[in-house]
Structure 1
Amino acid sequence: MASSAQAISHQSLQTASAIRTETITGSHLFNIFGYSLTKGIGIGKSINSDIFTVGEYNWIIKFFPDGSSKDDQNFISICLQLETEATDVKALISFDMLQQNGEPYFSIQYPAYTNWTSKHPSRGYPQFANRAEFEASGHLKNDALSL
């Protein structure tokens, strides 16, 4: 009797992949001196920050002292606007209204990452702060505020 032995080969295949995303964090301080003079410029009219750059993109903060629309006329509206021509920018934004000591008086964060495009460049809060409550709060010192 002849016996034949067969070698059984077991081959283990292992694969892996990875991605690395880059997160860039930035901030811009927007000081508004002479706040009382900004009121009455009109619903939907904004006062804009200087252009600033975060993540190779240019942005501005738009401050609407009389609200960004008729529905928001009793509120301070605020938004971040993309100024760079782009097709898909993802960003997580938050706005802080600062006290005179630099600590946040009021903060709000956009709920999720937002895809900006040049066709839809602005994201923000039409009812960021009730204007009458803010003015009565005592946080408006020397007719100035910081965002």
Structure 2
Amino acid sequence: MKRHHTVSPKTVSTCIPNISQGTHIFDIRGYSDLKGMGHEEFIKSGDFPVGGFDWAIVLYPDVNTFLDLDEITAFLELRSEGGDKVRASCDVRLVDQITGNSSSAHPTTKNVKLFNVDEVRRVNCLMMKRSEFEAPPYLLDDRITMECVVTVMHEPRVSRARPIPRINVPPPNITEQLGKLLESKEGADVTFDVAGETFAAHKLVLAMRSPVFKVELCGLMMESGTQHIAVTDMQPAVFKALLQFIYTDWLPGTHCFEGEDNGEMIRHLLVAANKYDVDRLKLLCQSILCKNLHARNVATTLALADQHNCDILKDACIEFMSFPNMMNDVAATQGYKDLQRMAPSVLAEAMEKMSKIKKMKRN
């Protein structure tokens, strides 16, 4: 049973903080009369709303006196009933009675604290030396003013996931366009006569893809009108396949050329690719011939590889011939006898390399 894989599009969502902030001015007058009431007594501000909750500032002027500590302590208290846990911070600033400016008395209290109506309703928001708190310019004319900035952190705002905009770009099609140019013959400025069959082409494309064509057509490029060139050493079908590869970098129906029955066509294409120095086609032909090596054709292919400077294919043939019990079948072929008669040096070189290969395998 086939499984179908569905590729989901890329999506994006955003998350941004969701905060509410409010400032409460807690003005304490007659401070000296309000302190000294005992360490359990406190001064509390009126309730003030921030972020949908009610809050209050609770100051204990004498709590640390009982512990013999020189400190003033204040708390931020959640006054609302019910509801979930609340995250909030409080920055307590003392107002300079002379300039009217304020400065943070306890910067560390800006950290977000967790409030819970059933457990934690207060968190410390001020701890300051009494000698500083109860001295000018903060305490003046028996008055002290606290500016309390409360920040409530709500659940972050998260947007709905949405697809990321994208523009699809089709795959490159320049080779397809060049193939159509070859087929249409539009703008062709050179023709080739191959065994009575005519092929129209474009000098610039041929020169760009083949160093040999570039040299051959260099002078013709300066001339106007269509030029005619005769090709006397190639079959029309081979020249047609060569042109198609030059224009499209692709050998139409490559799989059709594979197999022993089509080996002759590939051999002719290899010769053409070597003649016009079309390296990739030459390598492609070598690859096809290598995949279709057989005892019946390896000697002929070796001779072809040596004749047309195909060292990779030549080495592949020698490696193939060095397979166990292969040489008896190879030696019985006409191709081997031809190689023995017409290129004995090539055969001698192959035998020497085969001997080294077998020796390496034994070791």
> Which TM-score tier does this pair reach, normalised by the shorter chain?
0.7 to 0.9
The whole-number CA distance in structure 1 between the counterparts of 2:137 and 2:102 is: 14
The whole-number CA distance in structure 2 between the counterparts of 1:123 and 1:92 is: 9
Q: Please name the residue that 2:30 is paired with.
A: 34
Computing the radius of gyration over CA atoms, which structure comes out larger, 1 or 2? 2
Tell me, yes or no, if structure 1 residue 57 matches structure 2 residue 56.
no
Are the aligned partners of 1:105 and 1:139 in contact in 2 as well (CA < 8 Å)?
A: no
Q: Please name the residue that 2:92 is paired with.
A: 95
Gaps of 5+ in 1: 1-10
Residue 67 of structure 1, CA deviation? 2.5
Letter in 2 for 1:130: K
Are the aligned partners of 1:74 and 1:130 in contact in 2 as well (CA < 8 Å)?
A: yes
* Inter-CA distance 35–14: structure 2 relative to 1 (3 Å threshold): same
Are the aligned partners of 1:43 and 1:73 in contact in 2 as well (CA < 8 Å)?
A: no
Q: Please name the residue that 2:286 is paired with.
A: none
Q: How does the TM-score come out when normalised to structure 2?
A: 0.35
Residue 35 of structure 1, CA deviation? 0.8
The whole-number CA distance in structure 2 between the counterparts of 1:129 and 1:55 is: 27
Residue 72 of structure 1, CA deviation? 6.9
Q: Please name the residue that 1:121 is paired with.
A: 121
* Inter-CA distance 82–43: structure 2 relative to 1 (3 Å threshold): same
CA RMSD between the two structures: 2.4
Report how many residues are paired. 137
The whole-number CA distance in structure 1 between the counterparts of 2:92 and 2:135 is: 20
Gaps of 5+ in 2: 1-6, 147-363
Q: How does the TM-score come out when normalised to structure 1?
A: 0.79
Point out the structure with the larger helix share. 2
Deviation by residue 1:47-66 (Cα, 9 ceiling, x = unmatched): 11001000110001001111
* Inter-CA distance 106–20: structure 2 relative to 1 (3 Å threshold): closer
Residue 130 of structure 1, CA deviation? 1.7
The whole-number CA distance in structure 1 between the counterparts of 2:56 and 2:129 is: 22
Moved more, 59-68 or 129-138: 129-138
The whole-number CA distance in structure 1 between the counterparts of 2:16 and 2:104 is: 34
Residue 107 of structure 1, CA deviation? 2.2
Moved more, 128-137 or 38-47: 128-137
The whole-number CA distance in structure 2 between the counterparts of 1:24 and 1:69 is: 36
Are the aligned partners of 1:44 and 1:68 in contact in 2 as well (CA < 8 Å)?
A: no
The whole-number CA distance in structure 1 between the counterparts of 2:40 and 2:30 is: 19
Residue 137 of structure 1, CA deviation? 4.2
Q: Please name the residue that 1:6 is paired with.
A: none
Are the aligned partners of 1:65 and 1:77 in contact in 2 as well (CA < 8 Å)?
A: yes
The whole-number CA distance in structure 1 between the counterparts of 2:68 and 2:123 is: 15
Are the aligned partners of 1:98 and 1:104 in contact in 2 as well (CA < 8 Å)?
A: yes
Q: Please name the residue that 1:107 is paired with.
A: 105
Point out the structure with the larger strand share. 1
The whole-number CA distance in structure 1 between the counterparts of 2:64 and 2:44 is: 13
Q: Please name the residue that 1:74 is paired with.
A: 70
